[in-house]
Amino acid sequence: MNGYINSFQSMGTVDGPGVRCVIFMQGCPLRCVYCHNPETWVTGTGVQVTPKEMLNRIKRYKSYISKGGVTVSGGEALLQARFVKEFFAMCREERIHTALDTSGCIINDDVHDLLDVTDLCLLDIKMTTPEEYKKYTGVSLNTVLKFLDILQEKSIDTWIRQVIVPDINDNFDNIDRLNDILRRYNIVKKVELLPFRKLCLEKYKEMGKPFPLADTPEATPKAVAQLQKAVIL
């Protein structure tokens, strides 16, 4: 079985604990207005690899990632859940820590199997109302909350992540709603609020696509820090 890979980072330090190899999968069903990686959206392109080939590549970095591990990100990794599951199962045999960075937007048998070999989930809760979620990502908040229920049932440690975008979710009502969600899940160990940035403008230009938030200012570290302080974790 082949997976379609968009890109690979050998020494990542922001996608899970420790130093990690990060694999960015090709294909994403969401269309987040602030997406930094529109080149990952299309399915069926990218570099094809087998789980074993991916593992062999990772093993070259084994001494560097011994206290970290591997993170599979996207695009949306759940679109290729069977490939990621095979790969994570091999990583576990090698005692390499596995983290899944996902929007939690797909639930099926393959996704269940994948979660059974996942040590840590980095789950985006992009917005905290169903209306905003639909408006700014194109999919349903309800699926994400069901995904969180499954993580809870399977007792998988979870970090929640949310990009803070000025004039969209940079407010304390959003954090109150996020806290209401967090109170229901003791698997959540950490919450990371991340500032909206516009480093992707050039990419959109090259792709001939308009960036929906071109006129929105970047989030300031101070504003994000204030919101982060209000998070209960």
**Does residue 140 contact residue 134 with C-beta atoms inside 8 Å?**
yes
| Nearest distance, CB of residue 40 and ligand SF4, angstroms | 5
The distance of closest approach from Cβ of residue 147 to ligand SF4 in the complex, given in angstroms and rounded to an integer, is: 13
* Window 66-95: contact mask with ligand SF4 (x via CB under 6 A): --------xxx-------------------
Task: Collapse the DSSP code of 94 into the 3-class scheme (helix H, G, I; strand E, B; otherwise coil) and give the result.
Answer: coil
What x/- string results for residues 46 through 65 when contact with ligand SF4 is judged by CB under 6 A? --------------------
Binders in 21-40 for ligand SF4, by CB under 6 A: 28, 30-32, 35, 37, 40
Q: How far apart are CA 140 and CA 189, in angstroms?
A: 24
Residue with smaller CB distance to ligand SF4, 40 or 80: 40
Shortest spacing between CB 12 and ligand SF4, in angstroms = 16
Taking the least distance from each CB to ligand SF4, the nearer of 76 and 170 is: 76
How far apart are alpha carbons 233 and 214 in whole angstroms? 32
Q: Would you call the peptide bond into 75 cis, given omega within 30 degrees of 0 as the criterion?
A: yes
Q: 179-182, long-range: CB within 8 Å, 24+ apart, which pairs?
A: 179/230, 179/231, 179/232, 181/125, 181/128, 181/145, 181/148, 182/231, 182/232, 182/233
Name residues contacting ligand SF4, limited to 98-117 (CB under 6 A).
Answer: 103
CA–CA separation, 195 vs 172, rounded Å?
15
- Residue 76 · residue 28 · CB < 8 Å: yes
Q: By C-beta, is 76 or 86 nearer to ligand SF4?
A: 76
Q: Which is nearer to ligand SF4, 80 or 103 (CB)?
A: 103
Residue 71 vs 90, nearer CB to ligand SF4: 71
Taking alpha carbons only, the member of 112, 195, 109 closest to residue 100 is 112
Measured over the CA atoms of residue 93, residue 99, residue 102 and residue 106, the dihedral's sign is: positive
* Closer CB to ligand SF4, 216 or 226, in the complex: 216
Q: In angstroms, give the least distance from the CB of 35 to ligand SF4.
A: 3
What are the residues binding ligand SF4 (CB under 6 A)? Answer: 28, 30-32, 35, 37, 40, 74-76, 103
